[in-house]
Structure 1
Amino acid sequence: MNIDLQSLIGQGENQSLEFKSAKVHSNSLAKEMVAFANTSGGAILLGVEDDGSISGLPDDKNYEEWASNIARNNVIPALSLRVEQLLIDSQSVLYIEVPKGPEKPYQTQQNQFLTRVGSTNRIATQGELMRMFQQSGMFHFDQVAVPKTSINDLNMAALDQYFTPYEIEFSKETEAERKQLLINTDILAISGETTVGGLLMFGINPSRYLPQASIMFAHFDGTEPSAKLFNRQEIIGTLPYQVDTAVAILKNHLVRPSTIEGMKRVDTVALPPDRVLREMIVNACVHRNYGITGAQIRLFIYDDRIECISPGRLPNSVTVEKLRFGVSHASNPVLLKFMDNLRYIDRLGRGFPMIFREMEKLGKTVEVTEFGEELRVVISLT
C-alpha cells in the first residue's frame, strides 16, 4: 500500500479516520472496527494520539497479527482487514484499513451495534439497525404486515386479473380459500393484515398507509435545483401504476429537438430509449427501502440530465461497480416476484447492464452513486 501518513494525520479524526494509542484495549479497538464496518469503512492509525501526535508502537508484540486477531475474534461476524506497519518520523505506526462490511450488521462481543457519525461512534438506532438487516438480506421490509389493514384494502379486480393466468378464479373462491391463497402468496400476513408488498402491488390506496411509497417528479428550467420549475407532481398508487405513469410523464417532458430532412422530421438529439427510462424507474421502485419513512423516490429532469434518487443503500454484497455487470440482490423479494410475474422486470440481472449499454451507444454517460441512505442514478442528456 502506498500511504501518505503525514497527509492522513493532517486531516485529523473524521468520518473515515480514527487515531488510537498503542495502549488501546482490544475491546475498544473492536468498537472502532465495528463502527467503520457498519458505516462506509475507514482507517485506524494505531500509534497516533487523539491530538495527532505520534507516540508510535512499542516492541512488545506483533501488532499486525494482534489487530487481525481482534477483527477475527472480537468482531461478530469476523472481519478481514488490510494491515500494514509503517514508519513516520522514525516511529512505527500501524495502518488498519477497515472495509465497508459485506455482512452487516456487525457487533462487538458485548452485543453493541455501532455506527460512525463524524469523528465519533454511537449505538445504532432501531431504524439504522433495521436497514442494516435489510441490506444483509436477513430481513425484508416488503414482507412486514401493515398495521390496521385487511383484505378489504386490496383491489379484488386486480387480484382476479393477476391469478387468471394461473387458472385460479379468485373471485369465485370461498372467503377462507381467498385468505389462504393471499397468505400463501405473501399478499396477506398470517395476522390477516396486508404485507407491504401486497399493499403496494394490489392495494386500493397504498399511500393511505405508506405515504413514503410514491414518486415525486419535477422538471427544472436549468441545471440546478434552484432553477425555475416547469412542472412538479406526486405519483401515487400501486407500483405498476407508478411505473407506467412516471415513464409517460418523463417521455412527455423530454424535449425532442428535430429538423426536417426531405419529407421527414428527424430528431437532432438522441434521447434515452423508452426501455432505459422504464428500467431505471422499475429498479428504483422494486429495490428502494420502503422502511425509510418520509423519503420518496425523486425523479428530476434538468436541461442536461435525468436524476432518479431512491431511498436506501445497496445490499451488502452489491457495489456500484458490480451493477454494471448485472450483479443484483433482492432487497424486496415479494415485490420482485410480482413485478417479474407481471413482466415489469426479470431476475437475470440484465437491467442495469442494458441501461449502461444503450446509453453508451448514444455516447451518453450513466452515473450511479451512493450518497448517505440514497442511491442516485444520473443519465446525461447532452
Structure 2
Amino acid sequence: MNIDECMRLIQNGESSHVEFKEEGIKPTELAEEIVAFSNADGGTIIIGVSDKGEIIGITNRRIEEWIINICRDGCIPQVHPHVQVLDMSGKEIALISIPKGLNKPYYTGNHKYYIRVGTTKRIASKEELMRLFEASGYFHYDISPVPGTSVKDISIELVREYYMQYNMFDLYEESESSIQRILINADILRETDQGVQCTVGGLLVFGKSPVNKLPQSGISFAHFNGEDITEELIDKKQVNGRLNDIAEQIMTILKNNMLTGSVIKGAKREEVEDYPILVLREAVVNALVHRNYSITGSKIRVLMYADRIEFHSPGRLPNTVNVEKMKVGISYARNPFLVKYMENMRYIDQLGRGIPMILKSMMSKGAREPELEETGEEFVLTIYKP
C-alpha cells in the first residue's frame, strides 16, 4: 500500500475491515484484534493512529518483529500477516494486513475466540463459534441433535421406504430397539445426555413436521410485478416440509408464476418457458442442501422479478470455497448428511456440476450471465431472463 492509499484508508475511518490502534496497545489486545479479523474476512490494523484518525506515529524500530511474534505466539493457529511501515509526513505508522483465515476458528493464547462485528470485536457466542467450526470442516451442523425431539418426530414409514428402495432390509422386521440403533448409526438420530434426539438432517429428510422444531427450514417465495422489491406483490408463499417435498412444491409455484410462450415447430405448437426447468430445479435443490441451517430466524428466499429470479441462501460459502471456484465445479459439502440422502434420492449428483450447468444453460439461451455473490451472511444466485 502506498502513502496516498493509506491516507484514504485513514480518512475513511474505522470499519468492519479497518482498525486504528496507538503504539501503547498491549500484545494480548493486539492478538485479540488479529484473531477477530482472521475469523472474519480479514482486514487492516494501523498502529500509530488514534481512534479519531489522528496520525500519532510510532517509535518502536522493531515493531515488525514484535507484531510477527504476537501472531506466532498469541494467535492459534498462527496468523501470517503482511506488515508494512510507512512514513506519513515524518511520522511512521505500521500497517498489519490480515488475510481471511483459512484455518478457522482462531483463538488467543488464553483460549478466547473473537469475531469482528462492525467496528468492534467481541467474544463469539456459542452459535457463532459453531458456525466457525462448521466453516472449517471440523463440525457438520446437519448431524447435530435438535433439542426437544425424539424418535417420535421421525416418520418410520418414510425411513422404511427409503431402505426398501435400495433392497437393504425391511425396518418392520426389526425390533424397536434395533430400529433405534439403525437410525442412530445412520445419523438420523443422535444419543445425547438428554436421551436419543433427532439430528437436523434426520428431521429435514424424514421428519413428520420439520418446521415445528426447525423454524428456519423451508422457503419464502415472492413474485413482484417489476424489477424492484418495492413493486406490487403478485404472489407470496411460505413452503415448509421435508426437503424433497419443499423442492417439488417450490418448483410448482415457480412454474405457475412463469409466463409461458409458444413457438410453432412443423404442425405442432411447443411451449417455451422463461427459464429452463432443469436450471430452476438445480438452483432450488442447491439452496436447500447447502444453506447454513445453524442460522436461525432466516429462511431461504426465492424472489421473482420481471427480469430475474434471486435465490437467497442463508450462510456464507464454507471452508475455502469461493465464487470463482464454484464456476469451475469445485464444491464443498457443508451438509454431508443432506448431500448423501438427497443424492440417493436422485436430487443431486454430488459432482459439483450444478453451478457450471446453470451458467452454461442460461448463457446458451442468450441470457445475461448468472451472478453469484456473498452479501453479509447470505449467498445469492441471480438468474436473468433470456
Range into which the TM-score falls when normalised by the shorter chain:
over 0.9
CA drift at 1:262: 6.6
- 1-side partners of 2:234 and 2:32: how far apart? 49
- The offset of 1:258, in angstroms, is 4.2
Which residue in 2 is equivalent to 1:92? 92
Q: What TM-score do the two structures reach when normalised by structure 2?
A: 0.92
Deviation at 1:185, TM superposition (A): 0.6
Aligned runs of 1:12-91 on 2, under 5 Å? 12-58=13-59, 60-61=61-62, 63-91=63-91
Q: Distance in 2 between matches of 1:276 and 1:262?
A: 27
Q: Residue 375 of structure 2 is aligned with which of 363, 368, 371?
A: 371
Shift of 1:377: 1.2
State the TM-score, normalized to the length of structure 1.
Answer: 0.93
Q: Which residue of 2 aligns with 1:323?
A: 326
Residue 352 of structure 2 is matched in structure 1 by 349
Change beyond 3 A, Cα 1:361–1:69: farther
1:230-269 pair list within 5 angstroms = 230-258=234-262, 263-265=267-269
Give deviations 1:323-372, integer Å, cap 9, x for gaps: 11222222111111111111111222222222222222223221122222
Aligned to 1:299: 302
Write the deviation string for residues 215-243 of structure 1: whole angstroms up to 9, x where unpaired.
11111111111211111111111101111
Q: Is the 8 A contact 1:35 1:121 kept in 2?
A: yes
The CA RMSD over aligned residues, in Å, is 2.0
C-alpha deviation, 1:266, in angstroms:
6.2
User: Does 2:180 match 1:179?
Assistant: yes
The answer for the alignment partner of 2:111 in structure 1 is: 111
CA deviation after TM superposition for structure 1 residue 292, in Å: 1.8
Write the distance in 1 (CA, Å) between the matches of 2:66 and 2:362.
Answer: 49
Tell me, what secondary structure is at the counterpart of 2:177? helix
Q: Name the count of aligned residue pairs.
A: 380
The residue type paired with residue 225 of structure 1 is I
Q: Partners of 2:363 and 2:69 in 1: how far apart?
A: 46
Question: What 5-or-longer segments of structure 1 have no aligned partner?
Answer: none
- Rounded Cα–Cα distance in structure 2 between residues aligned with 1:90 and 1:216: 57
Deviation for aligned residue 1:169: 1.3
Percentage identity across aligned positions?
44
Contact 1:369–1:376 at 8 Å: present in 2 too? Answer: yes
CA distance in 1, matches of 2:291, 2:378: 9
Give, in whole Å, the separation in 2 of the partners of 1:60 and 1:288. 48
What SS does the corresponding residue of 1:19 show, helix, strand or coil? Answer: strand
Residues 285-344 of structure 1: per-residue CA shift (max 9 Å, x gap): 111121222211111100111011111111132122221122222211111111111111
Report what 1:10 is aligned to.
11
Secondary structure of the residue aligned to 1:216 is strand
| Partner in structure 2 of residue 206 of structure 1 | 210
The gaps in structure 2 that reach 5 residues or longer are none
Letter in 2 for 1:125: S
Which amino acid is 1:22 matched to? E
How far did residue 25 of structure 1 move?
2.2
Q: Which residue of 2 aligns with 1:142?
A: 142
Q: What is the one-letter code of the residue matched to 2:59?
A: P
SS of the counterpart of 1:218?
A: strand
Q: How does 1:130-169 map to 2 (within 5 A)?
A: 130-164=130-164, 165-169=166-170
Taking structure 1 as reference, are residues 286 and 24 closer, same or farther at Cα in structure 2, changes over 3 Å only?
same
Q: Secondary structure at the match of 1:237?
A: coil
CA distance in 1, matches of 2:12, 2:281: 43
Q: CA deviation at 1:131?
A: 1.5
Q: Secondary structure at the match of 1:96?
A: strand
1:34 and 1:108 in contact (8 A); partners too: yes
Q: Distance in 1 between matches of 2:223 and 2:152?
A: 37
SS in 2 for 1:192: strand
Contact 1:187–1:194 (CA under 8 A) maintained in structure 2: yes
Equivalent AA in structure 2 for residue 92 of structure 1:
E
- Once the two structures are TM-superposed, the CA of residue 85 in structure 1 deviates from its matched residue by 2.2
Q: Shift in Å at residue 252 of structure 1? A: 2.2
In 2: Cα distance, 1:152 partner to 1:72 partner: 50
Q: Deviation at 1:204? A: 1.4
Corresponding position of 2:280: 277
Q: How far apart are residue 9 of structure 1 and its match?
A: 0.8
Residue 362 of structure 1 corresponds to which residue in structure 2? Answer: 365
3-state SS, counterpart of residue 189 of structure 1: strand
Q: Do 1:101 and 1:316's aligned partners in 2 also have CA atoms closer than 8 Å?
A: no
Alpha-carbon contact 1:215-1:242 (below 8 Å) kept: yes
